[in-house]
């Protein structure tokens, strides 16, 4: 059980990156993509250390784009630059996207069938609940920072009640919020203390 921490393996080539991310995507059918990519990339193939992997998660969450997809881009770039990123991305998306396209074609062909529409009405109710939970999921991180809660509340009100669109909202509110949270030498944390 307690294997010694083996040295990291030779850096993967483009084909290996593609196959590795394909394996991650296939293993993660049903969820847990992040856990599976850690298991396969760090533990099984030993391409990178756990620390390097966690750095990747940080970068993937920070920058725009879907987290899982950014993570694949990070792994690919880490070893082979832009070509590696594209190979990893293709491996990650090939099977799920093909499947989704098949689902989509079936949906647009048959969605007017009453039986299917009835089932979908129920599924949609559950999916709406999932969408509603997204904000609450990260609310804890900001609970002790009144300024953050104010920013979030203003953003919510502007979008929901005044129908302000995303792009102008982010372009105006983003720089203002960044100015407020600009790190000050004397005061390294955000004004109301580090989130948790």
Partner 1 sequence: MPPLLLAAAAEAASCAPMRLNDLGHLLQVMGTFLGLSLFSLGGGNTLLAEYHHLSVVQYCWLRPAQFADIYALAEAAPGPSSMIVGLLGMGAGWPEGPGWALLSAYGAEIAILLPSTLLMVVACLSWNRLRESPWRVAFERGLGPITLGILFAVGVKILQTADTNAPGVVVSLLVCVLMLRTRISPLWFMAVAGGLGAFGLINR
Tokens (6 digits) for 112: 């007017």
Among residues 13, 35, 66, 110, the one that binds partner 1 under rule CB under 8 A: 66
Scanning residues 106 to 125, which ones bind partner 1 (CB under 8 A)? 107-109, 111, 115, 118-125
Among residues 14, 57, 177, 192, the one that binds partner 1 under rule CB under 8 A: 177
Scanning residues 68 to 97, which ones bind partner 1 (CB under 8 A)? 68-70, 73-74, 77-78, 81-82, 85-86, 89, 92-93, 95-97
Determine, following the binding rule CB under 8 A, whether residue 133 of this chain makes contact with partner 1. Answer: yes
Q: How far apart are CA 170 and CA 159, in angstroms?
A: 11
Which residue in this structure is represented by tokens 């992997």? 53
From 2-10, 11-19, 25-33, 42-50, give the range in contact with partner 1 by CB under 8 A: 25-33
- Output 10 or 101, the one with its CB closest to partner 1: 101
Q: How far apart are CA 34 and CA 173, in angstroms?
A: 31
**What 8-state DSSP symbol labels residue 39?**
I
- Bridge partner list, 187: 184
Measure the CA angle with vertex 68, ends 90 and 168; round to 5°.
105
Determine, following the binding rule CB under 8 A, whether residue 6 of this chain makes contact with partner 1. Answer: no
Coil, strand, or helix at residue 132? helix
Q: How far apart are CA 73 and CA 18, in angstroms?
A: 11
Q: In what helix (H) or strand (E) does residue 92 lie, and over which residues does it extend?
A: helix 67-110
Scanning residues 35 to 64, which ones bind partner 1 (CB under 8 A)? 55-56, 59-64
Among residues 30, 51, 186, 196, the one that binds partner 1 under rule CB under 8 A: 30
Determine, following the binding rule CB under 8 A, whether residue 99 of this chain makes contact with partner 1. Answer: yes
């Amino acid at each position: 059980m307690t294997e010694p921490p083996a040295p990291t393996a030779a850096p993967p080539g483009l084909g290996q990156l593609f196959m590795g991310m394909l394996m991650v995507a296939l293993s993660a059918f049903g969820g847990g993509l992040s856990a599976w990519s850690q298991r396969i990339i760090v533990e099984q193939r030993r391409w990178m250390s756990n620390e390097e992997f966690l750095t990747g998660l940080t970068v993937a969450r920070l920058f725009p784009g879907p987290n899982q997809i950014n993570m694949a881009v990070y792994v690919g770039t880490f070893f082979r630059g832009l070509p590696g990123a594209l190979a990893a991305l293709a491996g990650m998306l090939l099977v799920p996207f093909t499947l989704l396209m098949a689902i989509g074609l079936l949906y647009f062909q048959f969605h007017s069938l009453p039986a299917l529409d009835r089932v979908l009405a129920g599924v949609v109710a559950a999916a709406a609940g999932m969408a509603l939970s997204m904000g609450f999921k990260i609310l804890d991180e900001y609970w002790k920072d009144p300024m953050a809660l104010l920013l979030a509340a203003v953003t919510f009100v502007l979008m929901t009640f005044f129908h302000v669109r995303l792009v102008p909202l982010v372009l105006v509110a983003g720089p203002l919020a960044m100015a407020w949270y600009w790190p000050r030498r004397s005061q390294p944390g955000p004004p109301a203390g580090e989130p948790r």
